[in-house]
A = this chain, B = another copy of it.
Amino acid sequence: MTKIDLTPSKLAMVPFISVDNMMKIVNTIGPAQMIADIASYIEDDFKRWELFDKTPRVASHSREGVIELMPTSDGETYGFKYVNGHPANMARGFQTVTAFGVLARVDNGYPVLFTEMTILTALRTAAASVMAAKYLAPKNPKTMAMIGNGAQCEFQALAFQETLGIETVRLYDIDPAATEKAANNLATSGLNVVKCPTPEDAVSAVDIITTCTADKQFATILTDNMVGSGIHINAIGGDCPGKTELHRDILMRSDIFVEYTPQTRIEGEIQQLEPDHKVTELWEVITGKSKGRSSSDQVTLFDSVGFAVEDFSALRYVRDQLNHLDHYVDLDLLADPDDPRDLFGMVRRAAQDI
């Protein structure tokens, strides 16, 4: 019997970035540089905000946690992220959050990228923070407090060093081992790293406060007296219903900036406020429609929850790197028979292969 060529066509192939290859990409480019690059992709996408199809995330809740799909599209490219959130995972030896993502062509529906996104989400979250801080932080910030020294901490620290010129980070975590871990990881970064015994100590005389704690309950990581005038607060950890970090009084005297209002009302710090409390969407600041920081004594707050467009920007950035980095493999994901109507024939011809 003649051997038929069963090699899948190029059309059938989708580039896949494993965790191992994502780490190679991050280490080749450098984490701080890569976050800065992604920040500029996010900024570009926020400039064309109105183009995007902004679907709310599709959540499947269970007693143990949530699994979400976060799709969006700019009319040319479609992207989505799968992400879970399971607070009890850590105690059982699993990651609290894992994620992967897909980009596809809108014109024919073919996926063009499949990638791990646990690491990529950490980078894009830091990228969104520095992108917002560029418009909201006080001028020439030098010192940042970091309350919560978990998985997001080092990415934030390096991003603020690279993009905003932060020289000192003041670390605090309820678990000193987390602070120790972060300080060790940042030892060769060139940052002046200060381990602080209390949150009050951490926030003294800083320009920016980043909160990224993992507490599931309504928590008060910062109280009103801890926040001086002129500060920018980068609030990462309050990102789902029932999970907040800031005292309501801080919110009341801050100018609040969000990614996408309908989502942040449900998931962000502002779930504590009236549903009509004034907030400004970041894209309006970036396009000049609204003001960012307008005075030196203003308290600005980026109430960050993470939005599908930021994942889209990160996916777009990573796909562009595959033009010059070969840290991926092609997966034979798409059935591509010579005659589209002959799917059955394609399957049966492959029988010679087993």
* A positions within 8 Å CB-CB of B: 6, 8, 11-12, 16, 18-20, 22-24, 26-28, 31, 53, 55, 58, 60, 62, 64-67, 69, 71, 73, 75, 78, 80, 82, 84-86, 89-90, 92-96, 98, 100, 102, 104, 106-111, 116, 118-119, 122, 149-151, 153-155, 178, 181, 184-185, 331-337, 339-348, 350-351, 353-354
Contacts and interface: CB of A to CB of B under 8 A. Distances in A.
B84 A347 contact: no
A12 B93 CA distance: 12
B58 A335 contact: no
Nearest to A353: B24
Contacts of A110: 84, 94, 98
A95 B20 contact: no
Contacts of A75: 62
Contact of A108 (B58, B92, B106, B109): B92
A227 to B, nearest CB: 26
Given A12-B19, A24-B354, A109-B86, A67 B151 contact: no
A347 B35 CA distance: 14
B80 A108 contact: no
A106 B107 CA distance: 33
A339 B177 CA distance: 11
Contact of A335 (B31, B90, B95, B150): B95
A354 B90 contact: no
